[in-house]
Structure 1
Amino acid sequence: MKRSSPAALRNRDPILAVLKDWLPAEGRVLEIAAGTGEHALHFAAAFPHLEWQPTDPDSEARASIEAWREEEGTPNLQPALHLDVMATDWPVAEAVAILAVNLVHISPWEASLGLFAGAARLLPAGAPLILYGPWRVRGEPLAPSNLAFDAALKERDPRYGLRELTAFAAEARKHGLALARRVGMPANNLMLRFDFLGS
């Protein structure tokens, strides 16, 4: 029931280093598509004053999150919830930050639109939506590994694939989310922070 992801184990510390600068001191952090739960476990332990709320639409992923939480979890790590980003009714009413790791390229475009809409419903003005993953950036060559990954994603599902950052940020802005920070990460990934400007 407890699952493990080599990628999650590799990238959790680089992601954590950025989160230490970007997350608020207290409140609820909503993690979207938390997968195996290893990120949630690691980040909750690193931020004991934050309530860490993992979610995933997949029942097996939620079972893995719960197995990790029961075995090694800290008191601030909450039980995993079912959350479909494309739904208009989320199981959480508010959050001081939203984190989604490796979501937008492994989901249809409608999932990104749902993520923007949900963030605009939940976040207070100035709060961040934080994303991690590979991107296409205008004027910058795509790394061969990311080019191959993009092709593999589209073969798996034509709706998947690396998003182009300028177009993505323009759509986010329609929902009141402004791209505020961009940090280069290992393995040709980026961390992006979109700040909610308020409704």
Structure 2
Amino acid sequence: MTDGKAPQPWMAEDGGTAAKRHAPATLRNRDAITQVLADWLPPSGMVVEVASGSGEHVVHFAAAFPHLDWQPSDPDRAGLASIAAWSGEAALSNLRPSLMLDAAASDWPVSAADAILCINMVHISPWKATLGLFAGAARLLAPGAPLILYGPYIEADVPTAASNLDFDANLRARNPEWGLRDRDAVEAAAADAGLAFADRRAMPANNLMLLFRRT
């Protein structure tokens, strides 16, 4: 989210079950993300999504890429309930039951992945979660396999949109450990973990998709 309003990872869906949640940004960005994923995902295997949130993204991607198995996860019980609700409604054979996974933890409940996807977590979490994400990706991915990030970042040579600056201030006011991350710092931390930066795609609403590959 980059419009300067208070961030809302999700909200209760009108007319839905108590468990099912709706993140408004999902409908706005899922197709653009899908287009990039078509270029970056492997032809087969399992994709682990870290911080799946409401579960809407992973259901959409599982339908768009039926040749891949999708493993959603989240550290929040309400998130897991929402993922289960959306997954149950979709009834997709390539969508696995969600796992409780804290990116910052040193031990994840999954031992291998052919790709890892993380959307809108890096800026709405402590820095240790990003470091944990990179460490986890280094453990799970084979050489050359992708870690894909989506969200807003600050770039040294690119003017930061006013809406992103407002969003950053809003996040830091809510939690001093949150906030938009410097892309150079993110790439350096990834490199320290054994993940090489491979590509950058500009996305709508002043967001980016970043591709890293396990070295």
1:86 aligns with 2:104: yes
**Which of 120, 123, 148 is 1:102 aligned to?**
120
CA distance in 2, matches of 1:134, 1:51: 27
Q: How far is the alpha carbon of 1:9 from its aligned partner? A: 1.1
CA distance in 1 between partners of 2:179 and 2:198 (Å): 23
Residues 128-158 of structure 1: CA deviation (Å, up to 9, x unaligned): 1100000000021110100000000000100
Q: 1:119-134 to 2 correspondence within 5 Å?
A: 119-134=137-152
Distance 2:54 2:159 in 1: 32
Matches within 5 A, 1:134-149: 134-149=152-167
Aligned-pair distance for 1:73? 3.1
How many percent of aligned residue pairs carry the same amino acid?
60
TM, length-normalised to structure 1: 0.98
Name the SS for the 1:35 alignment partner.
coil
The C-alpha deviation readout for 1:96-151, integer Å capped at 9, x for no partner, is 10000001000011001100100000000000110000000002111010000000
Q: CA deviation at 1:86?
A: 1.1
Query: How many angstroms apart in 1 are the aligned matches of 2:20 and 2:184?
Result: 37
Q: What is the one-letter code of the residue matched to 2:67?
A: H
For 1:55, the equivalent position in structure 2 comes to 73
Deviation at 1:4, TM superposition (A): 0.9
- Indicate conservation of the 8 Å contact 1:52/1:76, yes or no: yes
Aligned partner (choices 18, 27, 32) of residue 45 of structure 2: 27
Structure 1 Cα separation of the partners of residues 164 and 88 of structure 2: 36
Structure 2 CA distance, aligned partners of 1:69 and 1:140? 38
AA partner of residue 167 (structure 1): A
CA contact (8 A) 1:55 1:81 kept: yes
Residue 117 of structure 1 aligns to a residue whose secondary structure is helix
**Which of 35, 44, 57 is equivalent to 1:17?**
35
For the pair 1:113 / 2:101, whether they are aligned, the reply is no
SS where residue 184 of structure 1 aligns?
strand
Which residue does 2:190 correspond to in 1?
Answer: 172
- Structure 2 Cα separation of the partners of residues 6 and 73 of structure 1: 22
Secondary structure of 1:104 counterpart: coil
- The residue correspondences of 1:66-77 to structure 2 (distance < 5 A) are 66-77=84-95
Q: Which one of the candidate residues 153, 171, 177 is aligned to 1:159? A: 177
Q: Give the total of aligned pairs.
A: 197
The TM-score, its normalising length taken from structure 2, stands at 0.90
Query: Pairwise CA RMSD of aligned residues?
Result: 0.6
